[in-house]
Amino acid sequence: MPEATTLRTLSDPGRAGPASRLSRLAPVHWLALAFLAAALGFAAAAWATGNGFYLRLATEALIFAGLAMSVDLLLGYTGLLSLGQALYFGLGAYVSALVLRDVAPSFWLAMAAALLAGSVAGLIGGVIANRVKGVYFALITFGLAQVAAKTVYNTRALGASDGLIGIPQIQVGFGPVSLDTADPLSFFLLVLALTVAAYAGLAYLMDAPFGRTLAAIRANEKRVPFLGFNAWRYKLAVYVLAACVAALAGALYPMLRGFVSPELMFFETSGNAVITVIVGGVGTLVGPVVGSLLLTALRSVVGSWTEHHLIVVGVIFMLSVIFLRKGLVGALLARLNRRGESGRTGS
């Protein structure tokens, strides 16, 4: 996406000239393309061997990657740690489940309803959470999600602790063609396409003036008003955006699993999303996707010989926090950059 780089209007203190900006940006997208190729290869292999289980698992990883991306928008680009992003993910999942079960088995209607619910809830949550900064922001998002999760958990109409079951499989129509969510391969490809679209759209937006303003807020919020920007408005906007992304990702969940449960809103879900972002790479958007797939694979591998995978995940997470500040993808990009720069000075 070379056009996007020219849209950078605000200079980022971390990056020097336009040339290095270009070389720094391109590898992210190359990485994303390589990832896409690998995902398609995986799909082909899984389809050839007729293995639906791993396709379903990979689909779930991509769905949770959407949640992780929304955390990355806040943490990586704006410097806001949300410990309650599962609130919007769970909201999207419940709204989608209710629409599919009780209103109409329509993919587009479910997604639209989840988007609407996500933006309204995000607006309310954002107005509340953006009253405070730093750790208080983390704690208030945590508290909001707890209130919502416990409320859902206690509400009989929403299935209380059992959640909602019996969400029908649906046909997703694209004009003349339609695909079946019950088919592991087509649903995987659909979710993959949506993930790629979300990545491309968000990466573009983060390179546009909007994203540069967020970077400025992250770097030094107090100076942003002096540049003529209203930091609060931008923080609210990105919060609503993140809520919508999380809600849309959540809306896909019941289509995959056929049920929703209050666990989707619990702190474990929010915490896992934060872990995914930190391990994958903060502020890269590819990182959350890569992290989600890696951690899902790790859990399934480690989980096959011990149920104590939390120790492994926890150790990896803490090592990432201490040693890999930009996660796996960040470390990889730094290497690619160094090679690229030394290559250029050598020629």
Instruction: Please tell me whether residue 243 binds other proteins under the rule CB under 8 A.
Output: no
Which one of the spans 16-24, 126-134, 223-231, 295-303 is the region binding other proteins (CB under 8 A)?
126-134
Number of residues interacting with other proteins: please give it, by CB under 8 A: 35
Q: Rule CB under 8 A: which of 57-86 touch other proteins?
A: 75, 79, 81
Asked if residues 235 and 217 have their Cβ atoms less than 8 Å apart, the reply is yes
d(C-alpha 229, C-alpha 99), whole Å:
39
Least distance from C-beta 8 to other proteins, angstroms?
23
Strands 171-174 and 164-165: unpaired
Q: In angstroms, what CA-CA distances link 228 with 13, 222, 223, 239?
A: 18, 11, 9, 20
Asked if residues 275 and 313 have their Cβ atoms less than 8 Å apart, the reply is yes
Instruction: Please tell me whether residue 135 binds other proteins under the rule CB under 8 A.
Output: yes
C-beta closer to other proteins: residue 145 or 164: 145
- Nearest Cα neighbor of 198 from 88, 71, 285, 292 is 285
Binder of other proteins out of 95, 113, 115, 138 (CB under 8 A): 138
Tokens 């070379």 sit on residue = 2
Tell me the backbone φ, ψ of residue 105, rounded to 5 degrees: -80, 60
Show Cβ contacts of residue 325 under 8 Å, excluding neighbours closer than 6 positions: 282
C-beta closer to other proteins: residue 74 or 167: 74
d(C-alpha 233, C-alpha 151), whole Å:
29
Asked if residues 206 and 97 have their Cβ atoms less than 8 Å apart, the reply is no
3-state SS, residue 226: helix
3-state SS, residue 7: coil
Q: In angstroms, what CA-CA distances link 347 with 17, 195, 271?
A: 19, 38, 46
Instruction: Please tell me whether residue 308 binds other proteins under the rule CB under 8 A.
Output: yes
Instruction: Please tell me whether residue 131 binds other proteins under the rule CB under 8 A.
Output: yes
Report how far apart the first and last C-alpha atoms of the chain are (Å, whole number).
25
C-beta closer to other proteins: residue 264 or 316: 316
Which one of the spans 148-156, 246-254, 286-294, 296-304 is the region binding other proteins (CB under 8 A)?
148-156
Least distance from C-beta 28 to other proteins, angstroms?
21
Instruction: Please tell me whether residue 209 binds other proteins under the rule CB under 8 A.
Output: no
Instruction: Please tell me whether residue 324 binds other proteins under the rule CB under 8 A.
Output: no
Instruction: Please tell me whether residue 274 binds other proteins under the rule CB under 8 A.
Output: yes
Instruction: Please tell me whether residue 40 binds other proteins under the rule CB under 8 A.
Output: no
Binder of other proteins out of 151, 178, 230, 342 (CB under 8 A): 151
Binder of other proteins out of 147, 193, 197, 227 (CB under 8 A): 147
Tell me the backbone φ, ψ of residue 100, rounded to 5 degrees: -65, -35
Tokens 């903060």 sit on residue = 282
d(C-alpha 211, C-alpha 198), whole Å:
15
Asked if residues 42 and 56 have their Cβ atoms less than 8 Å apart, the reply is no
Instruction: Please tell me whether residue 275 binds other proteins under the rule CB under 8 A.
Output: yes
Instruction: Please tell me whether residue 144 binds other proteins under the rule CB under 8 A.
Output: yes
Binder of other proteins out of 23, 146, 300, 337 (CB under 8 A): 146
C-beta closer to other proteins: residue 149 or 185: 149
Binder of other proteins out of 26, 109, 120, 139 (CB under 8 A): 139
Instruction: Please tell me whether residue 48 binds other proteins under the rule CB under 8 A.
Output: no
- Binding site residues, other proteins, CB under 8 A: 75, 79, 81, 128, 131-132, 134-136, 138-140, 143-144, 146-147, 150-151, 153-154, 271, 274-275, 278, 308-311, 313-315, 317-318, 321-322
